[in-house]
Structure 1
């Protein structure tokens, strides 16, 4: 009775393990992703980069437009024509052809060009910042895809180890050295490992899809060959005033100051000069006309626009002060995170080495019957957790490198590629 009752669960466990193992034998075709360096070289083709380039082109076009002088105005005027009495018909008419030109006094054109040039400089710095942000996003998506692939590989290896341990437990059950319950537990552990692998595979496929979309690749990515997680971060210390966000804030402050000058000059009268030729039909004679016109600043002195420009300047100055404070704090935080993540990677690698040795010794002891299945399962779980912790540590190091690279105005890992 005992032998037959043992055989039925063993058979069920063996069939379940065979079904799980069969799913691992399917062939895999991989389409490796381009290297991070290759993707970084094509960064200018991304939508964010193209948008930033277009905004720079628009700003430069406004500078060219600001340099253009206003067009002259031509006017043709007829007086004393087609009236009554002596003004019947066109015989006594006076016809005047005149041209008028805005003189743009008070440095109006120079201030307009300076304001447009300041806006163009801001757009150029914003484009550089947008490119850096895009490079950081690309590095993060690439590293996350690689991390997801490693986790899937670790889950696959964990399933392989669980199946091997389950077979060993099944052999002990068959020999009568372990109760049937151990075989059922082994089947449950293998099924759990299979579920973990399915979840990790789904996360890997989703990460590959995100990388394909962000990098604008023509074919879906199914594998990553060139590692970014193993890249060593670089340190390029720069001054706080050269941080891209600070430089953008400074450029915006300069542009706001230029707009104050424009508003002040626009409050002055806009002088227009004119010259013309008048034809006197009755006398069959001609004469020149000339004059100057300007508005009288009785009601509108552009005070509202001047006050608004000054308020915008104060706001830009406050944003610059905030940007400098943030740059100092963010640099200290990013440097600390990078140092901590580097130490974490070293510790995690040491933990993996220790966990591998512990699992090897546990497996030897289990096969010899010196330790229990519970101890073997614990050492296997510790090994899998240690390897996943090593992946997490490398991903944290990449994130720290991305944050520091943005503050230093460069692409992540730019010095290593």
Structure 2
């Protein structure tokens, strides 16, 4: 136990020196051209099936708007009378032919109400396209972050494999020199095999994450990913921001659904007014071979279906849309609060994990390696220091990835609705 305390005490005293060495190494390394998140988002936006489906929905809604503004078609009617009877009406000699044109006239404001519904649906389709784009952006961002985190975990696993190999070589030398028991070599061999299995597992996970990203963006990625994305953290947590659901895509969609329901109520009310059909025509009188004008007017009697049930149905749908809007506001505001809190917490955790804790763990592992080679520390001290370093590095990656995931979700939740109106 006193040896472990000595390792940690020495590591703490060397934190500043280790951090300075890390900064120098990071600044001297050449930066490779990386495939950035913005490039991934741009590539995904051009090939996302969800965005294509949303655009098709917009085109369909615009066509429906055109259809809603059209007037009903007239109808040509032909009547043949006084044929196929008896006596003088046995043949076609007494036939009378009437040719007329039936023109429906919509009353009650049906056409403007129908156009209003189509306008509301077209606007909702535009919002659906914006929502689809925001969802694609979130999906690609999460996949990119996961791929970067998996890539960095693979680097750590490879480094741990190298360290385990060096520890095994050192243990073998100590055993051959008679300075340690053969069990140390066996223990080091087990640690090396475990490190090899972990490296293979992390490599496969990194390949799977990269494959999922490539599949989502629709193009191969030959360049390395931008690992520096994970290290970009806010300078300091300024406290919770006053974010709400107003102006977001979710609330705009709820408003559009409510507008569609309101327009549906007006349309149902207009349907209660019967339409008028007028029919000017011409009739040929076979008896005198004269031609006379015919004019017909028809008006349906709302006896069995007066439209009350239809109005009650759309009013219930309107009430449902109003309740859904209130539910959406509550859900979005709760999700925004949770995402914001998670982003702040994970930023603090990542900042702590990357700071003194990381430097202390690195220095403790360095001292343990030197002390083990020189016989000052036992193998268990070395394994414990290496395990602590690996856990600290992985905890930092997990906290960084969780922060950027929460930040991406927060940006999706607070994404503003487009200002263009249909």
TM tier, smaller:
0.7 to 0.9
Q: Does the residue aligned with 2:108 lie in a helix, a strand or coil?
A: coil
8 Å CA contact retained: 1:94, 1:280: yes
Residue 7 of structure 1: aligned partner: none
8 Å CA contact retained: 1:209, 1:221: no
Aligned: 1:394 with 2:395: no
Residue 163 of structure 1: aligned partner: 165
CA separation of 1:364 and 1:33: change in aligned 2, threshold 3 A? closer
Residue 100 of structure 2: aligned partner: 98
Residue 41 of structure 1: aligned partner: 42
Aligned: 1:307 with 2:308: no
8 Å CA contact retained: 2:65, 2:119: yes
> Where does structure 1 lack aligned partners over 5 or more consecutive residues?
1-31, 412-417
8 Å CA contact retained: 1:211, 1:221: no
Q: By how many angstroms is 1:212 displaced?
A: 2.0
2:416 and 2:263 map into 1 onto residues whose CA distance is 29
2:244 and 2:403 map into 1 onto residues whose CA distance is 23
Residue 302 of structure 2: aligned partner: 297
Residue 13 of structure 2: aligned partner: none
8 Å CA contact retained: 2:121, 2:260: yes
Aligned: 1:257 with 2:256: no
1:179 and 1:69 map into 2 onto residues whose CA distance is 97
8 Å CA contact retained: 1:209, 1:220: no
Residue 271 of structure 2: aligned partner: 266
1:128 is matched with which residue: 121, 130, 143? 130
Q: Does the residue aligned with 1:241 lie in a helix, a strand or coil?
A: coil
Residue 341 of structure 1: aligned partner: 346
CA separation of 1:163 and 1:410: change in aligned 2, threshold 3 A? farther
Aligned length: 380
Q: Deviations over 1:325-360 (max 9, x none)?
A: 112222221111111111111111012222111111
Q: Residues 305-384 of structure 1 correspond to what in structure 2 (within 5 A)?
A: 305-350=310-355, 351-384=357-390
1:35 and 1:294 map into 2 onto residues whose CA distance is 68
Residue 18 of structure 1: aligned partner: none
2:146 is matched with which residue: 144, 149, 157? 144
1:409 and 1:100 map into 2 onto residues whose CA distance is 52
2:77 is matched with which residue: 71, 75, 78? 75
Q: Deviations over 1:142-193 (max 9, x none)?
A: 1111111111111110010111122222222222222222111111111111
Residue 15 of structure 2: aligned partner: none
Residue 252 of structure 2: aligned partner: 247
8 Å CA contact retained: 1:243, 1:407: yes
CA separation of 1:33 and 1:215: change in aligned 2, threshold 3 A? farther
Q: Does the residue aligned with 2:246 lie in a helix, a strand or coil?
A: helix
Q: Does the residue aligned with 2:279 lie in a helix, a strand or coil?
A: strand
Q: Does the residue aligned with 2:147 lie in a helix, a strand or coil?
A: helix
Cα RMSD of the aligned pairs, angstroms, is 2.3
1:183 is matched with which residue: 182, 185, 188? 185
Report the TM-score when normalising by structure 2: 0.85
1:377 and 1:410 map into 2 onto residues whose CA distance is 51
My pick for the range that moved more, 98-107 or 299-308, is 299-308
My pick for the range that moved more, 91-100 or 152-161, is 91-100
8 Å CA contact retained: 1:362, 1:371: yes
2:306 and 2:73 map into 1 onto residues whose CA distance is 25
8 Å CA contact retained: 2:251, 2:325: yes
Q: By how many angstroms is 1:246 displaced?
A: 1.2
Residue 285 of structure 1: aligned partner: 290
Q: Which has the higher contact order (CA 8 A, sep 6+)?
A: 2
2:200 and 2:83 map into 1 onto residues whose CA distance is 94
> Where does structure 2 lack aligned partners over 5 or more consecutive residues?
1-32, 418-422
Q: By how many angstroms is 1:88 displaced?
A: 4.4
Report the TM-score when normalising by structure 1: 0.85
8 Å CA contact retained: 2:170, 2:373: yes
Residue 27 of structure 1: aligned partner: none
